[in-house]
A = this chain, B = another copy of it.
Amino acid sequence: MSREKNNTKPIAVFDSGVGGLTVAAAIKRLLPNESIIYLGDLLHLPYGSKSTEAIIEFTDIAVDFLVNQDIKLLTIACNTSTSVALDFIRSKVEIPVVGVIRPGAEAAVRATQNNRIGVIGTKRTIESDAYKKEIEKVSAQTNRKIEVYQKATPLLVPLIEEGWKDHFVTELVLREYLNYFEDKKIDTLVLGCTHYPLIKNTIGSLMHDVKVVDSAETTSLKVKELLVKKKLLSEEEADYNYSIYLTDYTDTFGELAKLIIGNGKNEINDKINIISLEFSRGKSSYNLI
């Protein structure tokens, strides 16, 4: 297969819901020649409230679907999925795979001057220690000792999805959550969830003199870096902007999708396709107490 043919293949972006579109949109802003295939597993969202086993299986089946679409690069644009399933996916597929955690960790390590970094994310992302571990791995390469302070902020996604992006309650909830960092003296804060870029301004206004690392932006930079390195950048105009596949559809997706990618610059004339993927969970049992 010729290199040119490979170069015009689409980039795949996978997320459990609509949040990964912030990553897709960041890639598209940086690399307008690229076509993007998006898969949102709306039937199972939010991943943050599911078990590790379930998340790995959902991701596995979704990735199979995307790889079958003949893509040149795969982006796991879901923090929960990246934190529990990235290594497994990398061991399975041959194309380059970009997660959202490593790029955010690298950007945070570059940004901090006092070696004190904060991270916010869903309960599952924070409990997995994925950012903490990745930041420690990155900083170890330069023999730096970095302190990482983490806070789970599970109400932010529901608030954003309620349309309360600029509501005073969202600011109050943020104050409650960010209060945790008050005595931690961090100079850098990682937004460890793809929904959070939508309230980046409010977060920035509450965290004076703190650099806010947006994982959507940093992930798009990593995608560009990899495509340049592998000589896979498209030099032709994109076949399409977004081709969107969903495992379920609700109006909330449509509304937020328009907010994130339908900013008037690009006309969104691509169809949303609802697909059927087979999932099942094995039998096991737990004691309640």
Using a CB–CB cutoff of 8 Å, the interface residues on chain A facing chain B are 42-45, 49-51, 54, 123, 154-155, 158-159, 161-162, 164, 169, 172-173, 176, 244, 247-250, 252, 254, 257-258, 262, 268-289
Across the interface, name the chain B residue whose C-beta is closest to A284: B274
Given contacts A154-B158, A244-B288, 7 further A-B contacts (CB under 8 A): A43-B279, A44-B44, A123-B252, A254-B286, A262-B289, A272-B287, A276-B282
Check if A288 sits within 8 Å of B276, measured CB to CB.
Answer: no
User: Nearest 6 A-B pairs (CB), nearest first?
Assistant: A158-B158, A274-B284, A276-B281, A276-B280, A272-B286, A273-B285
Distance, CA A237 to CA B174, complexed state (A): 50
Distance in Å from the Cβ of A284 to the closest Cβ of chain B? 5
A244 neighbours in B (Cβ, 8 Å):
288
Distance in Å from the Cβ of A141 to the closest Cβ of chain B? 34
Distance, CA A269 to CA B250, complexed state (A): 39
Check if B285 sits within 8 Å of A274, measured CB to CB.
Answer: yes
Copies, count:
2
A51 and B249 in contact (CB under 8 A), knowing A169-B173, A280-B276? Answer: yes
A276 neighbours in B (Cβ, 8 Å):
280-283
Distance, CA A141 to CA B29, complexed state (A): 60
26 A–B contacts, CB within 8 A, in A order = A42-B49, A42-B50, A43-B44, A43-B50, A43-B279, A44-B44, A49-B161, A154-B158, A155-B162, A155-B164, A169-B176, A249-B284, A254-B286, A258-B288, A258-B289, A262-B289, A268-B289, A269-B289, A272-B287, A274-B281, A274-B282, A274-B286, A275-B281, A277-B280, A278-B280, A279-B279
- A250's partner among B49, B272, B287 (CB-CB below 8 A) is B49
Check if B54 sits within 8 Å of A281, measured CB to CB.
Answer: no
Check if B272 sits within 8 Å of A288, measured CB to CB.
Answer: yes
Across the interface, name the chain B residue whose C-beta is closest to A246: B286
Across the interface, name the chain B residue whose C-beta is closest to A287: B271
A155 neighbours in B (Cβ, 8 Å):
155, 158-159, 162, 164
A262 neighbours in B (Cβ, 8 Å):
288-289
Across the interface, name the chain B residue whose C-beta is closest to A258: B289
A258 neighbours in B (Cβ, 8 Å):
288-289
Q: Which of A158, A172, A271 has the most CB of B within 10 A?
A: A158
